[in-house]
Amino acid sequence: MKKKVILLTVLAVVLLGGGTASAFYYYDISKYIKTDDAKVQGDLRSIGSLAAGTLIEWNYRQGDSFKKGSVLGIVETSPAHGNVAATTSDIVAPDDGTVIETSAVKDQTVAPGAPLALSADLNELYVTANLKETELTDIHIGSHVAITIDAFPGTPFEGKIVQIGLGTNSTFSLLPTGNASGNYTKVVQKVPVKIALDNYLGKRLIPGLNATVKIDR
């Protein structure tokens, strides 16, 4: 009899626990949209020379920051005629930013438009999350978002939706998938959503970090 009571008690605890977990799960999905298909991103800019010539000066290395209008480098252009003195052309920063990557080497030959560096404003980073098309009706501009960034577990970042994509990710693919066999299988499409960060919370965020977002419905 005692064993039966213990067994029934254990069973009740298991059922109660399972019921509580299920209730929490359904409450969670009814209140939030969650995805780990998200990354920290920034507006990347390719920096190059407007003129052909020799890079006689390059002032910034990877990690260096600059202000809009800063002279990043100087290119000496080759004269059209031997008796004409060479001229110089400044490579000017189009916006505030930080050098994310650079291949510039002093005295190298450069071509117009050829990238010498890649930059981003690390003070204006955001999170891009890819949501299922079936979830779009439950979000709007201004929706609150709780954000977890893998590089900083336990740090509760927050933000809000500032832009909802006007096309699915597959729409912008350079190589759209075809259907040569004639058999069609519907695939749930994903739409990019831009989320502005309220605060960096003192962390050094960089483009490309993985994130998980939970959006209020």
For 103-153, the pLDDT digits (tens) are: 999 999 999 999 999 999 999 999 999 999 999 999 999 999 999 999 999
**115 within a domain of the structure (yes/no):** yes
Q: 37 with 96, same domain? A: no
Q: 132 with 210, same domain? A: yes
Which residues of the chain form beta strands (DSSP E)?
Answer: 32-41, 45-48, 53-58, 65-66, 71-77, 87-92, 97-102, 109-110, 115-120, 126-132, 144-149, 157-164, 190-197, 210-216
Q: 37 with 100, same domain? A: no
For 42-92, the pLDDT digits (tens) are: 999 999 999 999 999 999 999 999 999 999 999 998 776 667 788 999 999
The answer, yes or no, to whether residue 1 has pLDDT greater than 90, is no
Q: Domain boundary residue among 120, 153, 175? A: 120
Q: What single string gives the DSSP state of each residue in 85-138? A: PPEEEEEE-SSSEEEEEE---TT-EE-TT-EEEEEE-TTS-EEEEEEEGGGGGG
Q: 68 with 79, same domain? A: yes
Q: 133 with 206, same domain? A: yes
Q: 139 with 192, same domain? A: yes
Q: Give the CATH number, domain containing residue 199.
A: 2.40.30.170
Question: What is the C-alpha R_g of the chain?
Answer: 27
Q: 38 with 142, same domain? A: yes
Residue located via tokens 């309220």:
198
Q: 127 with 201, same domain? A: yes
Q: Look at the chain and report how many structural domains it folds into.
A: 2
Q: Which domain holds residue 113?
A: 45-120
pTM (2 d.p.): 0.79
Q: 36 with 142, same domain? A: yes
